Amino acid sequence: MDAGDFPLGRPGTLDASKGKTVLRRNALWAVRLEWPAGDHEFGCPRSDEAAALRELDRVRSYWARGPMRPRLSLVRISHHDFELHAKARRGCKAPDCP
Ligand SMILES: [Zn+2]
């Protein structure tokens, strides 16, 4: 069998699945709230995307009832960044955040 028959052979497949596992362990899905003043915060951390999407819906309907309308989105964020925002980065406006 010629190696050229498998341009996307097994080694690449294994690497890809390994990368995915690492990503899942180190990152979370979270709801990002961006306020009109330009600061943002993150809430409702979930490890799987389907659960995170349900949280996004829940958060959206919560804020839809009041006068405050943060811009909501779902983001990938590391545990470390999430913890930072929960503790030390209240009112964060850094443009390089997820
Ligand atoms: Zn931030």
The ranges assigned to domains in the chain are: 27-98
Kindly state the average pLDDT of the residues 59-74: 94
Q: What is the pLDDT of residues 72-97, one digit of tens each?
A: 999 999 999 999 999 988 899 999 99
Distance 90 CA to ligand 1 centre (A): 8
The structure tokens 């545990």 sit at 79
Q: What is the pLDDT of residues 33-56, one digit of tens each?
A: 999 999 999 999 999 999 999 999
Q: What is the dihedral of CA 8, 13, 26, 59, to 10 degrees?
A: 80
Alpha carbon distance 48, 30 (integer Å): 10
Distance 44 CA to ligand 1 centre (A): 16
- Helix (H) or strand (E) holding 45, with range, is strand 40-46
